[in-house]
A and B are shown apart, each in its own frame.
Chain A
């Protein structure tokens, strides 16, 4: 359906934008002043622990719910539903009509987004056959396994060939094989120039797929940038094991070095590893092993989200004390 909409404006630089978004449920601020911009044509991950506000943020950006404050723009339109034909959305809570046949369910989801039913039925059959689900084409959804039903819903999300695909926790409930298939599908879509935005709390998927990520905690974006930028938030970790337990070389260890199970652990010093190495050699420390580990996205996520959670707890405690 790319470019099918009459009078379509030139593709904006950002597929999705939100500025100062706030969404509250009662006294709970699920989205708390979020600024986000998803560059067109990228795979973008929204990471966060459970209850961080990821789903509410996605629902707000897509126009399913309106923000209490702030502005949003979806494919250049401030009213998201105007761009519904260009968007595919897989919600966290999967839903299909149980009595509908698999191919009909896919075609129906396409029809909702403007794809003619006849065309949708044809494409749905092709998609299901192409993924080895030919036997399921005419089966009602209630007779499919959970994984197959999820695949049907995923096909329904992309059948109309959208320019933007938004997937909320797409990997949850899938086995390893289907997770791998989904990763491949996301990459294929991105290669076609489609913007893919997905939320997850499983960092490995984001690390493998995403060009940019936003880490959400407590309804706020705590980090936004490339995966490398996120990793760079933490210094590399040094792990050192020596034969000598003491000596002059110990003075060269950073002050925050800790000893665990016979090995020293500390962040790589700002001056690099060379001065420490020299001190270890000169002081006959007897290096048994020395490794420098670059932190993964997981480490960055835990550090950022953990710090945010700790900050949140402090803020809450202060607020309660004031009350």
Chain B
């Protein structure tokens, strides 16, 4: 076993330096930052895009006095409910008929409210009417009530803590952690698919296989790619933190996860490593079967879809803490790290994490072993029934 780890380290060191010292690694590091940098450069442009209001606009085709009543009611309601709560309204001519106006090519409204405040008529497509008539009924009712509608003042009573708010905050942390972990995994683990192609095309695999167990080759490659990922994450994380500080971000406003920030961050690192090695060992095993880069490229799509499904499963489980879906997602090895990091945000018990990490590590070992045996069987054309050799020592 010691010899296998030694050999794995030799392979890992070679792969790590080959990747990190290459010129393309700079592009790899800068790649995820490009959208942010471009966003900062074109800040004004993106602000404009983000402020573009996509709410539907309803035309008001009423006599001026009626239209004014509606607009006043609209302003009173948005004052209480916020800008984005209601549909937008705009005055349009009373003639021609709404039906004719809507049929025009240059029509800028989705529906037209005509008639009077007391008897409004909404003209538009059925599905639009379904969506709009509630809002317009509310505005018309407020306009009808006019000064008789009295807004009730809600009394405020502030508290320092709220378990409900804390639970919501922790849920949000869990979700964010899941999403970040998922994106990092999808960005980084996919690269492992093509990891053995170089050795196969350059015939180096023969030299490696004669000198060290294939388990060590797989393990070394995973270690190298994981180390490379940590370099990337440290760089991106450091940059993000620097931007956060530069923008005067206030860390005190962020809710605290159930296990506390230090343990949560440590668990995040461990779970990322587990998610990465679980998927990575699977990808390495699959990619090792591919003979060419073209085959690896073909495998990319189903592999990405598989990752998405795992993420959706873990994402669904987060709302069902302690229930069957969450337990199933925690047990299923590939979704386990994503589920458990969300659990760390919401529950302070530490023992399930210990159990989960051991369970996930076991599966990493098992997947590597199966991948190795399939590689020996199908690529090296060696060995008999692979499952019979699953637990034999890997010493050739």
Interface residues of A in 67-94 (CB under 8 A from B): 68, 79-82, 84, 87, 89, 91, 93-94
The verdict on A99 contacting chain B, using a C-beta distance below 8 Å, is: yes
The verdict on B356 contacting chain A, using a C-beta distance below 8 Å, is: no
How many residues of B are in contact with the other chain, CB < 8 A?
32
The verdict on A108 contacting chain B, using a C-beta distance below 8 Å, is: yes
The verdict on A98 contacting chain B, using a C-beta distance below 8 Å, is: yes
* A34 nearest CB across to chain B (Å): 16
Contact A112 B10, CB 8 Å, known A95-B203, A95-B205, A96-B204:
yes
Closest chain A residue to B389 by CB distance? A66
- Interface flags for B362-396 (1: CB within 8 Å of A; 0: not) read 00000000000000100011111000000001111
Give the segment of A57-65, A208-216, A240-248, A312-320 that binds chain B: A57-65
Residues of B within 8 A of A89 (CB): 207, 210-211
The verdict on B213 contacting chain A, using a C-beta distance below 8 Å, is: yes
* A127 nearest CB across to chain B (Å): 17
Residues of B within 8 A of A80 (CB): 395-396
- Which listed residue, B10, B198, B205, B212, touches A81 by the CB 8 Å rule? B212
Residues of A within 8 A of B207 (CB): 89, 91, 95, 109, 112, 156
* B16 nearest CB across to chain A (Å): 13
The verdict on B7 contacting chain A, using a C-beta distance below 8 Å, is: yes
Are B396 and A93 neighbours in the complex by a CB distance under 8 Å?
Answer: no
- Which listed residue, B204, B205, B211, touches A113 by the CB 8 Å rule? B211
Residues of B within 8 A of A87 (CB): 210
Are A64 and B202 neighbours in the complex by a CB distance under 8 Å?
Answer: no
Are B213 and A66 neighbours in the complex by a CB distance under 8 Å?
Answer: no
- Which listed residue, B10, B204, B381, B383, touches A97 by the CB 8 Å rule? B204
Q: What separation, in Å, do the CA atoms of A81 and B209 have in the docked complex?
A: 9
Residues of B within 8 A of A96 (CB): 202, 204
Residues of A within 8 A of B202 (CB): 95-98
Residues of B within 8 A of A97 (CB): 14, 18, 198, 202, 204
Residues of B within 8 A of A113 (CB): 211
8 contacts between A and B (CB under 8 A): A84-B211, A95-B203, A95-B204, A97-B202, A98-B202, A112-B207, A112-B211, A112-B212
List chain A positions with a Cβ less than 8 A from chain B.
25, 59, 62-66, 68, 79-82, 84, 87, 89, 91, 93-100, 108-109, 111-114, 117, 156
List chain B positions with a Cβ less than 8 A from chain A.
6-7, 10-11, 13-14, 18, 22, 198-199, 202-213, 376, 380-384, 393-396
Additional pairs, 7, CB under 8 Å, beyond known A65-B381, A84-B210, A113-B211: A64-B209, A79-B393, A81-B394, A81-B395, A89-B207, A97-B204, A112-B207
A-B complex: 9 closest residue pairs judged by Cβ atoms: A95-B203, A63-B396, A81-B396, A65-B382, A112-B211, A95-B204, A91-B206, A79-B395, A93-B203
